[in-house]
Amino acid sequence: MWGEAYLYKVPLGKKIITLQYINPTAITPIMVNGVQTGRRIGTKVVKKDDIIAFRSPNPYGTGGYSPLMAIRKTLSIEWNMETRNEALLKNGATP
């Protein structure tokens, strides 16, 4: 399994006060003449150097979820399915 993770260096003046985790699906590169000049996090534009990227080698050359994000997504789906089934049975639905 391959994936990516990003940290944003949160500045206060010329100092970095904290590192903030960025969901890989929420970040997009900004390209100018084929060169990456920055990144967009939602509607916020940040300099390329303000992002720390951690990437696992991926032989297919595409991005993806990190292993922990994939497990989190799977567990979230399982939990939602269990919650739905419990609610159906609690409300007297026929299985």
pLDDT greater than 50 at residue 8: yes
pTM above 0.75, yes or no: no
Report yes or no: 64 and 58 within 8 Å, Cβ to Cβ.
Answer: yes
More confident residue, 5 or 78: 78
Q: Cβ-count burial of 5 within 10 angstroms (0-12 exposed, 13-18 middle, 19+ buried)?
A: middle
Q: Does residue 72 share a domain with residue 39? A: no
Beta-sheet strand order (sheet of 44-47): 27-32, 35-41, 44-47
The tens digit of pLDDT for each residue in 60-80 reads 555 555 667 777 888 999 999
Q: Does residue 57 share a domain with residue 25? A: yes
pLDDT greater than 50 at residue 1: no
The tens digit of pLDDT for each residue in 48-58 reads 888 888 776 55
Q: Does residue 60 share a domain with residue 72? A: no
Q: Does residue 46 share a domain with residue 77? A: no
For residue 90, the enclosing domain spans 67-95
Q: Residue 65 and residue 68: Cα distance in Å, rounded?
A: 8
Q: What is the pLDDT of residue 25?
A: 80
Going by DSSP bridges, is the β-strand pair 27-32/35-41 parallel, antiparallel, or unpaired? antiparallel
